Amino acid sequence: MGNESTRERSDAVRNRRAILEATDALLSEFGAENVSIEQIAAAAGVGKGTVFHRFGNRAGLMRALVVERAHHLRDAVISGEPPLGPGAPADDRLLAYFDAMFRLVVDNVELMIAFDNATADAQTEAIHEFWYGHIAALLAEARPDLDAEMLARVMLASINPDMVLHCIRTDQTERLAASVLAVVASVVGRPAHTP
């Protein structure tokens, strides 16, 4: 019985990983609007029912992928190497964070759009609140004269997935990255660097 239970758990872990990887690959190849649960299940080598059992619905699947990526970045912010992690001045950390967040959105833009279109729940709100809190804390340290709480929201809004997708499609990704970092640099009172 113990071996069956262990095998079942390892099968569930393998299936979850296969579903997430298949979703990621299909979103990258075909775009958020052109991928169905049936396609994901087939690419993952599982039944459609397994996808629904594991994630509930399309929104749950998108949420699982976004949460996984957000947690990797959160871990780097909390305990990673400076300047993204602790130990660097607040302005360096803000620039490193916005660079990392921008790259995360660019690398996962179809997922972010599918996620934004499919979900809004307490778990995703908690992710957003973590980022707002992180940015606000660094802003309060770097620029105590500003409304760090509101400015954190304004600054994070500069990495909107729809705008990022437009810039990817029009070959302006690096231009947008430079502009986002220029905004952050100007807020913290540093000269902007061009890539």
User: Would you state the pLDDT for residue 67?
Assistant: 84
Q: Residue 176's CB: how many other CB atoms inside 10 A?
A: 20
User: Would you state the pLDDT for residue 117?
Assistant: 62
User: Would you state the pLDDT for residue 107?
Assistant: 87
User: Would you state the pLDDT for residue 66?
Assistant: 84
CA gap 125, 133 in Å, rounded: 12
- Percent of residues, the chain, with pLDDT higher than 70: 90
User: Would you state the pLDDT for residue 127?
Assistant: 84
Low-confidence stretches of the chain (pLDDT beneath 70): 1-8, 116-123, 192-195
Tell me if the bond preceding 83 is cis, omega within 30° of 0: yes
Instruction: Please calculate the CA angle 105-36-69 and round it to the nearest 5 degrees.
Output: 25
User: Would you state the pLDDT for residue 138?
Assistant: 97
Helices marked H in the chain: 2-30, 37-44, 48-55, 58-79, 90-107, 109-118, 122-142, 148-157, 161-169, 173-187
What percent helix, strand, coil does the chain show, rounded to 5?
Answer: 80, 0, 20
Class (C level, CATH) for 1-56? mainly alpha
For residue 105 the two structure tokens come to 């959105």
CA gap 88, 30 in Å, rounded: 40
Cβ(128)–Cβ(157) under 8 Å? no
For residue 30 the two structure tokens come to 């075909």
Helices marked H in 80-144: 90-107, 109-118, 122-142
In which residue are the tokens 């304004």 written? 154
